[in-house]
Chain A
Amino acid sequence: MTATLERSTPDPRTGPPALDVRGVSKVFGSGTDAVVALDGVDLSVAPGEFVCLLGASGCGKSTLLNLVAGLDRPTSGTVETSAARPAVMFQEAALLPWLDAGRNVELPLRLAGIGRSARRERAHELLALVRLEGQADKRPHELSGGMRQRVALARALAAATGLGEGGTTRHEPGVLLMDEPFGALDAITRDVLQAELLRVWEATGTTVLFVTHDVRESVRLAERVVLLSSRPGRVVREWATASDSDPEELHGDITGELREVISAHAR
């Protein structure tokens, strides 16, 4: 049933990583109140790869995502991305309520100074990609939670890929950062959106770094699952969800390790 089984083996990735995190630490506050959110995290994501960052609350997975997104600066270490600006998707769709769906998707292109007709065409293309064709003139409040999140996905794709292949600029598959984007949705909608995300990922070849605390979600979506420990956040272990591994076994394996990481805080 899981999409992992249906996925064709990806091409061997070559070239420089899309995303390279080296020795990154992040400390909030100072002195005795200082909280070490991240401690010496190394993470490298190949172009087109789908990586899930998994961890319990307080493991700094969102902090790491913010650092990669450029919304925050690391205390030490370096973050390098191939894309000039990775696109971010949050738990809330965070659409601008006064703009219709189409204009929300157009916004990153508008910010990049792209002309109206070109960006409108691209917005329609991306809305069709997330199966929202014909909904461009709906306002966010007229859409369901799942549809809003798909508009947000289309907008993030617009930010990550610009005008895409049809544009005059060089085609960039882009980098997509997702911070528990389906966390606020009901189970059925989440299931559908996970399938949609995989479809869109396969169609666009975008690099995805996906933060979640849901083991099942990470096993279903990612090619590689990276487990972070909590306070301070460190990379504990990585799993490759190759197409021949049994997802149930992998799920049990990762869950066991995650429980261990969490119960270490009880002592």
Chain B
Amino acid sequence: MPADTTTDEQRPGTPDDAADVGRGLDALDTPTEQRTPLWKRFLTGVVPPIVAVVLFVVVWQILWASAIWPEFKLPSPQAVFGQIGTQLADGQALSIIWTSISRAVLGFLLAVVIATPIGLLVATVPLVRSAIGPILTGLQSLPSVAWVPAAVLWFGLNDQTIYFVVLMGAVPSIANGLVSGIDQVPPLLPRVGFAMGASRSQSARLIMLPAALPGFLGGLKQGWAFAWRSLMAAEIIATSPSLGFGLGAYLNQGQSLSDMSSVMAAILLILVVGIGVELIFFRPAELRVLRARGLATGP
């Protein structure tokens, strides 16, 4: 082979060379995912809230020990946790919590069933959006406790009143979450779907709904929070033996008996249930969805 000619393999710009450059670029440009080790996530995610709670209890203990307020206004942490302990021990706490949670879950599921078609209609039909869109947003800022008196007069002191208030609290949040989820879908995605030959129902099922999922999940999360607090408002105001004995009723009873440790125990339990459901169900679901799309931030 003469020295002044090069073979095809050596000349720049030949297909093999291009393939190598391409592979090199792929290797260089591929985003590297950094996985934080478990202990680090534990250190940054779990430890700080625990420390905060411990600090809070310590401050509370100190305030109680300094006896600035009388015992019936500020019971000791020990008294409150003891109250919860005895309630748990004789099984009453579980029955109280179960009464409330079962109502909240049922009300929440009902709200999802009602809010999803409403959200779909508002998001996709312009006339429906201009008609009830603003009302839906407005309802979100109306405290659902305002519905309690009306509901009592309409339905009487029964479960219908409770569920009505829960629905009025949760439905607007869930529907609005779905609407904003659909609004935030990049307009290019349905265009691409149409260009690939998607029918309207295929586009809704395979493109719009999955694309709107993060917003919808956000709405569900907020909907749960609203369902829970609406339920508590309803249970505190509308008390009757026929309504069963939930956390709200327990709180109300504490007030009428001037039993501050019961009141604080009830508040703590309400808080724990609200946070617990969020941490056990919504946070993992949300993280899963966001991770799959490369949208998750933080640990």
Interface residues in chain A, defined as those with a beta carbon under 8 Å from any beta carbon in chain B? 1, 69-71, 85, 87-88, 90, 92, 94, 96-98, 107-108, 110-112, 131, 139-147, 155, 159, 188-189, 192, 195-196, 199
Contact = CB atoms under 8 A, between A and B. Distances in A.
B293 A141 contact: yes
Interface string B259-285: 000000000000000000000000000
Given A107-B206, A111-B202, A192-B18, A147 B26 contact: yes
B18 A98 contact: no
Nearest to A107: B196
A108 B198 CA distance: 8
Size band of the B side of the interface? 35 or more
Contacts of B292: 97-98, 139
A108 B30 contact: no
B188 A146 contact: no
A40 B23 CA distance: 44
Contacts of A96: 189, 207, 210-211
B29 A144 contact: yes
B192 interface: yes
A146 B293 contact: no
A108 B188 contact: no
Contact of B25 (A98, A155, A188): A188
B22 interface: yes
B22 A143 contact: no
Contact of A192 (B25, B289, B295): B25
B23 A131 contact: yes
B8 to A, nearest CB: 10
Nearest to A140: B294
B42 to A, nearest CB: 25
The B interface is mostly helix, strand or loop, or mixed, namely helix
Contacts of A71: 191, 194-195
A97 B198 contact: no
Given A98-B292, A192-B21, A196-B22, A141 B31 contact: yes
A145 B29 contact: yes
Interface of B: 12-13, 15, 18-19, 21-23, 25-26, 28-31, 33, 186, 188-189, 191-199, 202, 206-207, 210-211, 213, 289, 292-295
Given A111-B199, A189-B29, 17 more contacts: A85-B195, A85-B197, A88-B195, A94-B189, A94-B192, A96-B189, A96-B210, A97-B293, A98-B211, A98-B292, A107-B206, A110-B206, A141-B293, A141-B294, A146-B25, A147-B26, A192-B21
Contacts of B25: 144, 146, 188-189, 192
Contact of A131 (B22, B28, B31): B22
A112 B206 CA distance: 13
A84 to B, nearest CB: 8
Contact of A92 (B31, B188, B197): B188
B22 A88 contact: no
A142 B12 CA distance: 30
Contacts of B213: 98
Given A98-B293, A131-B23, A140-B294, A147 B30 contact: yes
B2 to A, nearest CB: 22
A196 B18 contact: yes
Nearest to B17: A195
A155 B289 CA distance: 23
B188 A90 contact: yes
10 contacts: A85-B196, A94-B188, A94-B189, A94-B191, A144-B26, A146-B22, A147-B30, A159-B195, A192-B21, A192-B25
A158 B276 CA distance: 46
B203 to A, nearest CB: 9
A155 B211 CA distance: 18
Contacts of A147: 26, 29-30
